[in-house]
Every structure is written in structure tokens, then in C-alpha cells.
Structure 1
Amino acid sequence: MIYEIRHLTRYSYGAIVELTTGVLRLAPRSGDGQEVQRFSIVTDPVSQPLTERLDPFGNRVTSLRIEKPHRQLSITASSRVRVNRTPPPTRSPAWETVGAEAIAMTSLDADCQAIALYPSRRVALFDGATAYAKQSFGPHRPIFDAASELARRIRSDFTYDPEATEVNTPAAEAFDRRRGVCQDFAHIMIAAVRGIALPALYVSGYIRTLPPPGKERLEGADATHAWVSVWCGAPLGWRDFDPTNATSIQNDHIVVARGRDYSDVSPIESMVLSSGRHRLEVEVDVIPV
């Protein structure tokens, strides 16, 4: 499957902004069945020349600086991505074997699983999540089967509610409420998996949404999304699970960035020299071509 992706972010400010600086994580990743064929960023007002680097997790990070005074700012990221992932595995090692392998790892590469074993800025370990994970990770159970069941249970036991949480809501609080959005469900699953000493990462990206039967697709109606990557041992590597939709990911998901939690992968982090309030609008189109 080949997708054309358009991600528009628009800020409207209550006062003149003299300076905007920031970092963007909007470029999809290549690898693991995904190939980026084209990527570009356009800003209005025009930024100083954009610079790009790889962060410690292998994500493409773009830096911008806008020195022209402005009351509005738009950032449009356009991508063309081919996705052709392998089918889910039919066999996987026992989760205890994978945990022992992860603890023994000595690599410091960007893809090293050791960094995904421990609490992070937005994902603290807590007893409720650990106990919740243990219901799926029984003795000697294959890790892929157990992680798949955990994702399905989160989808079944938790209610998707955009009003229930905010971007800074701790995973333990969302867990107690049994409500939240994809970010919360990803953080909860990560806390659960790390609580039984298995590596798990946060993944940001896009998911293609299908209109209801008989309805036309609405422009800008697709969404940014978040899910979880679990280390399933050396033969399988990282495998991704979507607890919001109770599935392992296939060709409807497009990966943008990976990190320990949302703090490592937020699409836009910026600083503005101004005063007053601002309004944020986001539109996403994921179009199969």
C-alpha cells in the first residue's frame, strides 16, 4: 500500500509573535516494512533554512526558526510512504525467555531494547498495571499471543473518551478512570509490559480511517495516532500493538517516531516570544494511492 499523507498544524495567536523556534517530529520512518519515498515541510511564514538530525531513537527531527513577526503560523508536512509489512508471526518465544534476553543485552545502539525496560518521564510503574499485565502473561505463554491479548483487553475494558484526560494525565490516573485516548492507552500498556520486566516503546504515527458505509471521506478527517512496540526477542524483534483498536499493526498504520513515551515523540515542540493565548488546529489526510 502507498499513502499520500498531509499533516497541517495551524496556530493562531492573540498577539504578535516576534520569534518562533521549535523542533518537529513529522517525518515518517523507513524500515520494518515501511519506506519513505518523499517528505517535505512548508511553513507560513517561511522559516530560516530547516535543519535535520537523528535523535537517539533514530527519529528524524527537524529544527525551525521564524524571525518574521506573525499572528498565525501554519506547518504542513507532506509524505509519500509505501507500507508492506509481513504477516503476524504464528510462533514466538515464551515471554520469560524474552525478558531474560533483554536484561542481558549490552548493546547501546538506538534500537537497543534495554532503554525500554525502565520507568520514563510519563510512564511510571504501578502495581495496578503490573497485575493487569499478569492476567495475560501466564507462565511460559508465547509473548506475541500475550501482548495481543493485553491489547484486546485494554480495548474491551477501557472507554475512549477525549474529555476524560489531558496530554499530561499520568498513566496511573487514566488506568483508574478506565477512560482516555490513544495516548493514555499506549502509556497504560507500556506501564503494564514494563511492570513484568519486558521492553516496550511508545510509537506515534498515522492510521487510515474509513468513512461510514455510504458516506464520503471528509478532508482532514484522518488522525494522528499512538500505539505500543514490544520487544519479542531476537528472532522477531520489535512488534507493534494498537490497544485503541485491539490489533497488531499491519498496513493501515504509518510509523513516524518511537521513544520511551510521548515526551520523546511529540510532533511539535516550540517556543514563541509573545504574550496572550493561542488556538491550535490540526488536520490530517491519509490517502491510499
Structure 2
Amino acid sequence: MKYRVAHRTEYSYDDDVRDSLGLAHGVPRPLPWQQVAWHRVTVDPAPGDLTEDLDGYGNVVSYFHVTEPHRRLTIEAQSEVTVVAPEYDAAALAEPWERSRPLVHPDVPGAWAATEFVLESPRAKHVDEAHDYARASLLPGRPIGEAVTDLMHRIKADFQYDSKATTVTSTVADVMATRAGVCQDFAHLALACLRTHGVAARYVSGYLATRPLPGRERVVGADASHAWVAAWIPGPGRSGSGQWLAFDPTNDQWIADRHVTVAWGRDYGDVSPVKGIIFTEAKKSTLRVSVDVAPLEEYAQP
């Protein structure tokens, strides 16, 4: 599928902001299953510096510095991407999940690169509740593809999607206690479940193209940022380092041609859409976010 993606973030303040320095993850990654035809990031007011680079995980990151006094700051990332469903090696998926533990099997090709993603991270703490919950899926000798899929099914069945149940500061322990949350919470929960058993897994940010109900028009700008998880699978892959099985516990499915991948890291803190520092005397601020992921045929050709 081909998509035109637009992600607009707008901050409003009740007093002048003298300086805004920020980092934005808004450009989709070029991947074997995802091609990026073009992209652009714009900032208003016009920044004195707008630079694009790759971070330590290979994600495209945009740095900006606005020095003009302002009470409104807008960051917009636009792109055109073509996405297909990733393909996985059946033999690798059939390997016991225990082989996906790089600290236990450091001799497996690619284990060195996966090791960082088995360690505890700030937003995916290794709590006992997550370890115990994952046991029912990670049975001894169970194929990694089957084990990860079962964990995904159980999170979907046992946890309720509720945007009011958690906040950006909620922990894995909070989610386990309330049995509710949003995509970010379910991704952090899945990370903790896998990592506490030694399985390498990374947090993935991106977008999910939504489809309107039959007879309804698609609402422009009503989409949202999304999050899912990718578990490391030893075996064939780029440079022989294995593959990463990407799955979406919120929607109970492996990622396919409706998932647009933007960035990955240890958890949300590594890949938040926008973060930064401002210098101001403002007491109040307002954040508005608009995301649109539209099939390309809805647009006239550029």
C-alpha cells in the first residue's frame, strides 16, 4: 500500500518563548518492506537551524532551534511511503524461544547487536508481575513465533484499551494493576514480559492506517501515533544477524501493510515524536496533535 503521511504537532503558550530547541522523530525508516519516496519536515516559526541526521538506532531525527520569540510552535512531518507485509523465515520462527536470548547464547550470529534490547529500560521495568504473566506463553521449547503470538493474543484479551486509564508517566506495574491502557502501555508491557525472560525486544513507533466504517467517510487528521514491539529471532536476515518479528498487541496482529514504521529504540523515551527545551516565562501551554495516514489515491499527483 502507498500512503501519504502527515503528522502535525502544535504548541501554544500564554507568553513569549525566547528559544525552542527540539528533536523530532517524524520521518519513516527505509526498510526492506518499506520504501520512502520523499519526506520533509517543516517548523514554524522558521528555525535558525533545522538539521537532519541519524540517531544511534539508525532512525531519522530532525533537530531544530527557533530563536524568534513566539507563542505558537508548529512542527509538521510529511512523507510518502510504500509498505508491504514483512516476510519471515519459517525455520527461524520454529526455533525454541530460548534461542532468542542473546545473553544466554552470545555465540548466535547477531546476538551482540540484540543484547541492548534485553536490558531493562526506564519505561519498561523488569517487574515480577510481567515475568509471571509471560510464563504461560513462554513454555519450555515452544517455537519463538508461536510464543510471541500467544503473548500478543493474551494481552489483547486480558487488557482493555482505555485512554483514561493511564498517563505518559504510567509504569508497567500500573498497567498490570489496572489491566488497561493504550498502545504505548501495551508495548511496554510486552517488552517487560519478553525481556524478563531474556528475549531481546525493541519498542517501535509509527502509524496505523485506519479504515472508516462502511458508508462513512475517512476523517482527515483523526489518526494517531501508534506503538508496537519487535522480538529478535536468530537466523537468516540482513548480514546474517537474524530478523525482528514485529507484532501489535493493541490490535492482536503481526504488522502488515497498514503499519508505517518511523523509529525504534529501547522504549518510548528513545523515539518520542517531539521532545526538547524551551526558555520562557509562560505558565500555561497547550498541545494539539493531528495525524493523517491516507491511501495515496486520495491525493492528486504532486
* TMscore range, shorter length: over 0.9
Q: Is the 8 A contact 1:103 1:114 kept in 2?
A: no
Greater alpha carbon shift after TM alignment, 4-13 vs 42-51: 42-51
Match for residue 253 of structure 1? Answer: 259
Match for residue 43 of structure 1? Answer: 43
- Going from structure 1 to structure 2, the CA distance change for 1:55 and 1:107 (only over 3 Å counts) comes to farther
CA distance in 1, matches of 2:108, 2:145: 23
Match for residue 278 of structure 1? Answer: 285
- Going from structure 1 to structure 2, the CA distance change for 1:21 and 1:134 (only over 3 Å counts) comes to same
Match for residue 300 of structure 2? Answer: none
CA distance in 1, matches of 2:263, 2:158: 27
Note the alpha carbon deviations across 1:169-212, whole angstroms, 9 max, x for none: 11111111101100000000000000110001100000001111
Deviation at 1:107, TM superposition (A): 8.5
Q: Determine if the alignment matches structure 1 residue 239 to structure 2 residue 241.
A: no
CA distance in 1, matches of 2:165, 2:26: 26
Q: Is the 8 A contact 2:201 2:231 kept in 1?
A: yes
CA distance in 1, matches of 2:102, 2:209: 36
Q: Determine if the alignment matches structure 1 residue 2 to structure 2 residue 9.
A: no
Matches within 5 A, 1:85-234: 85-87=85-87, 90-91=90-91, 92=93, 93-99=95-101, 103-104=105-106, 112-234=113-235
Q: Is the 8 A contact 1:43 1:74 kept in 2?
A: yes
Q: Determine if the alignment matches structure 1 residue 263 to structure 2 residue 269.
A: yes
Match for residue 71 of structure 1? Answer: 71
TM-score normalised by length of structure 1 = 0.95
Greater alpha carbon shift after TM alignment, 199-208 vs 35-44: 35-44
The ranges of structure 1 where at least 4 consecutive aligned residues each deviate by more than 3 angstroms after the TM superposition are 86-91, 100-103, 105-109
Aligned to 1:104, what secondary structure does the other structure show?
A: coil
Aligned length: 288
CA distance in 1, matches of 2:178, 2:14: 35
- Going from structure 1 to structure 2, the CA distance change for 1:29 and 1:69 (only over 3 Å counts) comes to same
Aligned to 1:50, what secondary structure does the other structure show?
A: strand
Whichever residue aligns with residue 57 of structure 1, its letter is Y
Deviation at 1:234, TM superposition (A): 2.4
Note the alpha carbon deviations across 1:59-102, whole angstroms, 9 max, x for none: 11111001111111111110011112334554411111222586
Whichever residue aligns with residue 106 of structure 2, its letter is A
Greater alpha carbon shift after TM alignment, 152-161 vs 85-94: 85-94
Aligned to 2:164, what secondary structure does the other structure show?
A: coil
Q: Is the 8 A contact 1:209 1:223 kept in 2?
A: no
CA distance in 2, matches of 1:34, 1:108: 22
CA distance in 1, matches of 2:273, 2:26: 6
Pairwise CA RMSD = 1.8
* Residue segments in structure 2 that go unaligned for 5+ positions in a row: 237-241, 297-302
Note the alpha carbon deviations across 1:215-238, whole angstroms, 9 max, x for none: 110110111100001001122511
TM-score normalised by length of structure 2 = 0.91
Whichever residue aligns with residue 78 of structure 1, its letter is Q
Q: Is the 8 A contact 1:155 1:243 kept in 2?
A: yes
Share of identical aligned residues, percent?
40
